[in-house]
Structure formats: C-alpha cells, structure tokens
C-alpha cells in the first residue's frame, strides 16, 4: 500500500485543499509525506488572488509552516523546494516522482493556472504517463477551501477487463486500512451512448445491438456479484450495481447516490484512446464529481 505521499503546493489556499485528504490517508496507512513547491520562471505576482511564492527561502518557510499545522503527530513530513526556475511546472512535478520516489501524489484539481481541466491534463496525466504513479485529485469546496474528508464509502467503476482491476486492488488495500465499504459499478451503454464505430453499427442493426447490450448487462451483473462475494469472503463489506448510459455521468451519479467519499478508477493516461478507460472518461468524472478521485495507472498484461 502507499507509504510515501507527495503533495505539490503553490502557496494558495486552493492548492491546500489537498492537505486534509493527504493527512487522513497518511494516518490510515502509516505513510510519510513530502510537500513540494516548484519555483516558476516569470511567474505571475499573484495566484488565485494570493501572492505567488517565487523566492526559495519564502517557499521553504511556507512549507515548514504547513508541515507543522496541517498534520497531526505521528505523520512524518518533509519539505522540498525545486529552486531552479522552470517554465513547465507540470512536467517538473511529474519528474519529481522519479527524484523523490513517492507512490502516491495527492493534489488539488485547482492549482497553477486555476483551471481544473488544464491542471488535470498537464500535471496528473503527465505524472501517470511518465512515471505510472497513482494520483489522488481533490476538489476544493465552492468557497475554495479544504472540504472535510472521511473514507468510509468508496466507489470503484469496473468494466470486466482484468487489466483494469488493478484499480480494484488498490481500492481494496485502502478500504482495508480505512475500514471502508466498497461499491462496485459497471456501466453498460445504451443505444444512444455507444461510442464511435459501435454507434454506427447500432444504427444499422438496432435490434441486434439492443439484444447484445442486454446480454452484456446480464453478464456484468453476474461478474460483479462474484466480485462482491470474493470481497466479503476477505472480510470487506461490498455492494454492486450495473447501470446503463454514459460512463462518466453514471459514475458521478453513483457516487452521489451512495454518498461515496472517494472514487477509484483505473486509467491508461495516454492520449488518443477511445476505450472506456481512456483519458476521455477520467477528466469528465474529475470535472463533474465533487469527491476526490484516485487515478490508478493501468499496466497492460503482455
């Protein structure tokens, strides 16, 4: 399980929204934390209405203050400031996964630039693509501060592909540490939500396609129930459901309905893929969900 968490901070209150989640996870897993700040070249004077940290000594003092106030006793916290100015902050953070060796990155969806979609694409996806390190994305509250976080209910979307169950394995370990319940969800498309070439085929053969999707739903319900039984045999409380529709919309609705504290998803983290687990689904879930999203890089079997 995760033993070293990396938390990128830019000095803003928005970025600090990740701190309560990092503290809760670190305490549950007995993990250490490294706070990191990257000095940006030609940085704006302000970020999110707050003065931007562009001086290394100032950045060190800021991280030290956060370390002493945001984490309780028993959580080892280190600080790292990348003092050489860089233009590509996103890539620098991604490269620090190799330098500092974390096994989980915890960060706010808002940060440098303040745009959720930009941050996801430039930092989280680079981290996954370059180093394969899981990323836990935290949404700030509407007021822009850190929302309360507990980890009692976890939502895990699955699609039947054994490669993608790597996300479930991570969710199981975290659920065991946090004593959380797992809710597994499988999305089967409707005729109107089939992607790409499948949608074209459906228009030509709607009756056949509809029948095949019904069979997919029956098979998915059986597979998920078997997963639940295996989890319960391991002493983990679990539930499951199969829903129809658009994957991202279904996942977000399921998280709301089950009052989930965390969504755990497998992702390839590569551009240009159109599968269910491509980068197209995760950003949509990230932009719509109000709870943290843990992205687990999928390593395909040979």
Same domain for 231 and 285, yes or no, is yes
In a domain, 180, yes or no: yes
In a domain, 146, yes or no: no
Q: d(Cα 260, Cα 252) in Å, to the nearest integer? A: 10
Same domain for 97 and 159, yes or no, is no
Interval 146-158 mean pLDDT: 87
Same domain for 127 and 181, yes or no, is no
SS3 assignment, position 65: helix
Interval 65-80 mean pLDDT: 92
Same domain for 121 and 183, yes or no, is no
In a domain, 85, yes or no: yes
Residue whose C-alpha is closest to residue 185's, from 72, 287, 289, 64: 289
In a domain, 186, yes or no: yes
Domain final residue, candidates 113, 138, 163: 138
Same domain for 82 and 169, yes or no, is no
At 16-26, the pLDDT tens digits run 889 999 999 99
At 287-301, the pLDDT tens digits run 788 899 998 887 665
Domain final residue, candidates 138, 173, 197: 138
Mean residue pLDDT across the chain: 82
Q: Tell me, what's the pLDDT at 116?
A: 42
pTM recorded for the entire structure: 0.86
Same domain for 93 and 175, yes or no, is no
List C-alpha distances in Å: 108 to 12, 63, 119, 216.
Answer: 11, 16, 9, 36
Burial class of residue 63 in the structure, from the number of CB atoms within 10 Å of its CB (0-12 exposed, 13-18 middle, 19+ buried): buried
End-to-end CA separation in angstroms for the chain? 24
Domain final residue, candidates 138, 169, 195: 138
Interval 255-267 mean pLDDT: 93
- At residue 55, does pLDDT exceed 60? yes
Same domain for 112 and 202, yes or no, is no
List C-alpha distances in Å: 22 to 34, 75, 94, 146, 247.
Answer: 10, 10, 18, 11, 28
At 24-53, the pLDDT tens digits run 999 999 999 999 998 888 766 666 566 678
CA angle 171, 173, 178 (to 5 degrees): 90
Burial class of residue 69 in the structure, from the number of CB atoms within 10 Å of its CB (0-12 exposed, 13-18 middle, 19+ buried): exposed
SS3 assignment, position 227: helix
Phi and psi angles of residue 79, each rounded to the nearest 5 degrees, phi first = -130, 145
Q: Give me the CATH number covering residue 265.
A: 3.40.50.620
Q: Tell me, what's the pLDDT at 53?
A: 80
Q: Tell me, what's the pLDDT at 113?
A: 45
Quick one: what percent of the chain has pLDDT higher than 70?
79
Interval 197-221 mean pLDDT: 80
Same domain for 11 and 116, yes or no, is yes
- How many structural domains does the chain have? 2
In a domain, 253, yes or no: yes
In a domain, 225, yes or no: yes
Give 78's strand partners: 34
Find the domain containing 86 and state its range. Answer: 4-138
- At residue 126, does pLDDT exceed 90? no
Same domain for 13 and 124, yes or no, is yes
DSSP 30: T
Same domain for 94 and 202, yes or no, is no
Same domain for 235 and 202, yes or no, is yes
List C-alpha distances in Å: 279 to 111, 244, 268.
Answer: 20, 20, 7
List C-alpha distances in Å: 224 to 75, 162, 232.
Answer: 37, 13, 12
Say if residues 297 and 136 touch (Cβ distance below 8 Å).
no
Same domain for 99 and 175, yes or no, is no
In a domain, 143, yes or no: no
Confidence of residue 272 (pLDDT cuts 50, 70, 90): very low
Q: d(Cα 145, Cα 251) in Å, to the nearest integer? A: 25
Q: Where are the alpha helices (DSSP H) in the chain?
A: 19-29, 56-70, 89-100, 116-119, 125-131, 166-178, 196-204, 206-233, 247-257, 281-288
Q: d(Cα 23, Cα 105) in Å, to the nearest integer? A: 12
* Two tokens, residue 104: 């989980």
In a domain, 133, yes or no: yes
Confidence of residue 210 (pLDDT cuts 50, 70, 90): confident
């Amino acid at each position: 399980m995760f033993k070293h968490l990396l938390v990128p901070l830019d000095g803003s209150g928005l970025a600090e929204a990740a701190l309560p989640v990092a503290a809760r996870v670190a305490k549950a897993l007995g993990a250490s934390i490294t706070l990191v700040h990257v000095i940006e070249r030609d940085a704006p004077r302000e970020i999110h209405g707050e003065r931007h940290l562009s001086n290394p000594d100032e950045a060190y003092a800021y991280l030290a203050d956060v370390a002493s106030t945001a984490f309780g006793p028993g959580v080892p916290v280190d600080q790292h400031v990348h003092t050489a100015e860089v233009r590509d902050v996103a890539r620098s953070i991604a490269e620090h996964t190799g330098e500092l060796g974390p096994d989980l990155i915890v960060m706010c969806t808002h940060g440098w630039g303040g745009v959720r979609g930009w941050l996801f694409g430039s930092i989280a996806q680079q981290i996954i693509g370059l180093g394969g390190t899981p990323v836990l994305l935290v949404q700030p509250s509407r007021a822009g501060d850190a929302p309360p976080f507990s980890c009692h209910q976890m939502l895990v979307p699955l699609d039947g592909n054994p490669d993608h169950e790597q996300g479930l394995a991570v969710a199981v370990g975290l659920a065991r540490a946090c004593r959380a319940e797992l809710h597994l969800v499988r999305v089967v498309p409707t005729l109107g939500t089939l992607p790409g070439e499948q949608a074209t085929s459906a228009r030509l053969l709607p009756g056949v396609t509809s029948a095949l999707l019904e069979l997919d739903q029956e098979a998915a319900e059986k597979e998920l129930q078997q997963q639940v039984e295996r989890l319960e045999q391991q002493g983990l409380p679990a539930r499951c459901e199969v829903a129809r529709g658009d994957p991202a919309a279904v996942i977000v609705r399921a998280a709301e309905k089950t009052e989930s504290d965390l969504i755990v998803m497998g992702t390839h983290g590569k551009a240009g893929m159109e599968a269910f687990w491509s980068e197209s689904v995760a950003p949509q879930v990230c932009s719509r969900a109000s709870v943290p999203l843990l992205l687990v890089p999928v390593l395909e079997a040979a």
